[in-house]
Amino acid sequence: MSREARALLLAAAAAMAACASRESQAPSGRIQRRPFGQVEGRTAHLYTLCGGRGLVAKITDYGAIVTELWVPDREGKKADVVLGFDTLEAYLAGHPYFGCIVGRCANRIAGAQFPIDGKTYRLAANDGPNHLHGGVRGFDKHLWDSAAKDGPEGPSLTLTRTSPDGEEGYPGTVRASVTYTLTDAGELKIEMTAVTDRPTIVNLAHHGYWNLAGHASGDILGHVLQVNAELFTPADATLIPFGTLAPVEGTPFDFRRGMRIGEDIDVAPGGYDLNFCINGPMGELRWAARLTEPKSGRWMEILTTEPGLQFYSGNFLDGTIRGKGGAVYAKHQGLCLETQRYPDSIHHPDWPTVILRPGETYRHLMIHRFDVKR
């Protein structure tokens, strides 16, 4: 057996043992918590949630990161289907947003500045001339407060943090909350909310890197993706949208009927990295994407209340990152399907707004539903 296969088996056994264990510091046998390391003198934790249909998730309060997600294949064999690390130190050393919550504003803000009510706010330009994923130290690089509970839907973990006025250049104190639930129906459900005391921007997104064959199993080009979108937002070379909505029909972005990701990927320079406009009214829960891995039969459906879906095919992974069990994460080893507002919405007043005002509550629901195709 290869070293990697052995490491995988051991990790699987450990995850299963954690679920069976009764020696938990948390309130139920379906939830365990252990220290994960220190961040600025505070202890970070790693929670294990054991949900329905054999799902097991590990989530840390550092960055609200899902570090592992074990999902059965058509034979009932589990694999960890998200990219990530085994240790907190590896996350602290820096990574391309593995499994975290990005905020205050996911995706890009052109020119790293924006106006609200006539006043201009300047942000860090951390992606060429633009602002990306909340800045130099966004929500993914903070320790959140955490509370786990076993509820009627399944075990859940609520993570909260207060982002102070002026953090990363954004105005207003924002109180954000993210609840991860592993439901008895075999879903990973993510509920995001936020309130503010001054007009500001809020656009949170979960940034999981998926590989339904297992995080250490090579590229995702054989996965079949279906996206519920007639339109996408064409963008320039720095991935800032021009402001138009274009039909996917006749482009390599037509995933309406389902397409192997590798099929047309060469037409998109470097791979896919674009925003789809999900059909149907924003605010209503509707399906956004379906991802199938033919060999294992694993199948994931994403539902959302958000208007946009960023599909990123792991183009910047280059084999320099060693992940869980020593796995080398090469180009296209994982893919992201991030529900959110359209990129750079703050500069497009006719698009669904990212502005949050005092008295309003930002709400974003994202559900990952797992099953197998026989």
Q: Which CB, 47 or 97, lies closer to ligand GLA?
A: 97
Q: Which CB, 61 or 338, lies closer to ligand GLA?
A: 338
Q: Does the active-site annotation cover 45?
A: no
Minimum CB separation of residue 97 from ligand GLA in Å reads: 5
Q: How far is CA 46 from CA 108, 144, 191, 230, in A?
A: 30, 12, 19, 40
The active-site residue out of 45, 207, 348, 368 is: 207
Applying CB under 6 A, the residues found at the interface with ligand GLA are: 96-97, 132, 239, 273, 310, 312, 316, 336, 338
**Which structure tokens are listed for 346?**
């703050």
Minimum CB separation of residue 83 from ligand GLA in Å reads: 11
Amino acid identity of 163? S
The active-site residue out of 45, 338, 348, 368 is: 338
163 Cβ contact partners less than 8 Å away, ≥ 6 residues apart? 103, 104, 139, 170, 173, 174, 175, 176
Q: Which CB, 8 or 225, lies closer to ligand GLA?
A: 225
Minimum CB separation of residue 335 from ligand GLA in Å reads: 10
Minimum CB separation of residue 276 from ligand GLA in Å reads: 12
Q: Which CB, 8 or 327, lies closer to ligand GLA?
A: 327
Q: Does the active-site annotation cover 332?
A: no
Decide if 48 contacts 32 (C-beta within 8 A). yes
Give catalytic residue positions.
207, 338
